[in-house]
Amino acid sequence: MARLEKLFARARRSLVGGVNSPVRAFKSVGGTPLFVRSGAGARIRGADGRSYVDFCLSWGPLMFGHARREIVAAARAALARGSTFGVATEAEVVLAEKIKGALPSIELLRMTSSGTEAAMSAARAARAFTGRDLIVKFAGCYHGHVDSLLVAAGSGATTLGIPDSAGVPKAMAATTIVVPFNDLTAVENAFKKHKGKIAALFVEPIPANMGVVFPAKGFLEGLRRITKRKKALLVFDEVITGFRVCYGGVQTLYGIKPDLTVLGKIVGGGLPLAAYGGRRDVMSMIAPEGPAYQAGTLSGNPVAVAAGTAMLDLLKRENPYPRLERLAEYYCAGLRGAAIAAGVPLRIQSFGSMFTPFFLENAVTDYVSAMKADKAAYGRFFHGMLKRGVYLPPAQWEAAFVSAAHTERDLDFALSAAAQALKAV
């Protein structure tokens, strides 16, 4: 720990808060953040020299764990040919074809370097296509730190967004309408109140940024029905769920065809890469085909594209999804049992290989119910697990993940740690 404390103090002299993304600073759970030296399979090794079973997995993209040999080899070979060109490559076309083949809703796509950039560009395309300015989003769903989408998660049914961050102009936040997740009536009311002004509705079809939350029966289908009727675009943000829950994402599982899809995380194989795509007529609004401008020197970076292609090839060939679901079920069942034995109220919500342990008794169905979880209890549990060699997302309201590299032995190790950690919650 002394090594980490010294490294964190050093980092704070050069990096804002000592980190390059806020959640890494452990503000939500307290204590000194972990610095990682390396990763292999289901484990990471910290700068403190300790090994940890990793359930964060870089927030989801590492379907096969750390440093999977085929992905590393593909990235290394691409890097040897050149790290970046700012010029089109055939490899970009190959990856685009694979993404299109997996998601029938995508007729054209554009690659970017981050999910935030992809979400921002999808909103721009939607506004350009519809000639409307307003966006509907759901409280608790996160679509990157785009000014117009970074709004407070209010509980009002059709409240206009207010800035959730300093530096976001009120006028930009006011172009976003925030409604409760799983509430079709609130969605209907928003469209009624802002008749003819809503360009698109953005949704994480299975939210993972307020913890894992399930869409109510008929909810996603209702969103598709309402947006079609109101001539607004339905945008699925599958940055986390795309290729994580199945090879074609949530839209394939539910048989729903959104107008636009935002992808990230996994399509880069663990390297910085994202994409947005959908209907040809909508995507044709993007330059050079249309008047909506979006560009990026590193978009379709050859090293990231190579890693992403290797990832999708592995997913297609090995189909790890049934096993991933079994592993997640095994771990979550064990965790529930440990919580009961310790007398700790714990609600575990999982979908496929994603899960969140909420420290409360009732089901979490939206942002308001998610916020009732005991954040302090999660912090104690997090540090109890960290002390025993298990790394979880350092925030109560985030999804955790299992990978194909995890084994039952890894999970048993983590469950043994949990049984001890829960006693101190």
Catalytic residues: 142, 237, 265
User: How many CB atoms sit inside 10 A of residue 262's CB?
Assistant: 30
Token pair in block for residue 133 = 């300015």
Separation of alpha carbons 332 and 322, rounded Å:
15
Separation of alpha carbons 293 and 278, rounded Å:
17
Show Cβ contacts of residue 354 under 8 Å, excluding neighbours closer than 6 positions: 60, 206, 208, 212, 240, 241, 244, 245, 328, 399, 400, 401
Nearest-CA neighbor of 266 among 302, 206, 308, 306? Answer: 308
Separation of alpha carbons 196 and 192, rounded Å:
9
SS3 at position 246: strand
Separation of alpha carbons 156 and 76, rounded Å:
50
User: How many CB atoms sit inside 10 A of residue 405's CB?
Assistant: 21
- 378 close to 295: Cβ distance less than 8 angstroms: no
Separation of alpha carbons 60 and 265, rounded Å:
7
Q: Which one-letter DSSP state was computed for residue 365?
A: -
- 403 close to 43: Cβ distance less than 8 angstroms: no
Which own/partner pairs from 96-99 qualify as long-range (CB within 8 Å, at least 24 positions apart)?
96/275, 98/309, 98/312, 98/313, 99/263, 99/267, 99/275, 99/277, 99/312
Q: Which amino acid, residue 13?
A: R
